[in-house]
Amino acid sequence: MALFGAFLRGSFGLPKPDKQAVDRVKDLARAVLQTPPDTAFAVNEIACNDPGCPGIETVILVMEPGKKTRALKVAKVLDEVMEQDILAALDR
């Protein structure tokens, strides 16, 4: 039963993110990256307990057909991610 509760909370014990917030970040990433329409995105908030981590970060997976999946990491919670954060994540 504990596993089911963890599933409801989302990854790593965080509350499941709001679909509108996820869609907003996906739309921002699509616009910033100017990807083809068949590119898929996955957006997740991840809690990291490692001292070198920012605590909670947003990870954007970019899955373009025929290309290796890219992970863009933004050291902010999902609701605070802006266009300039995605651009900065490209440079890392």
For the chain, the straight-line distance linking the first and the last C-alpha, in angstroms and rounded, comes to: 40
pLDDT bracket for residue 16 (50, 70, 90): low
Confidence label for 13 from pLDDT (cuts 50, 70 and 90) = low
Residue 51's pLDDT is what?
78
Q: What is the largest CA-CA distance in the chain?
A: 43
pLDDT digits over 17-71, tens only? 789 999 999 999 999 999 999 999 999 998 877 777 768 899 999 999 999 999 9
pTM over 0.85: no
CA 32, 35, 37, 38 torsion-angle sign: negative
| pLDDT value for 7 | 40
Burial class (CB in 10 A: 0-12, 13-18, 19+), 59: middle
Q: Where do the domains of the chain lie, and which CATH numbers do they carry? A: 17-90 (3.10.450)
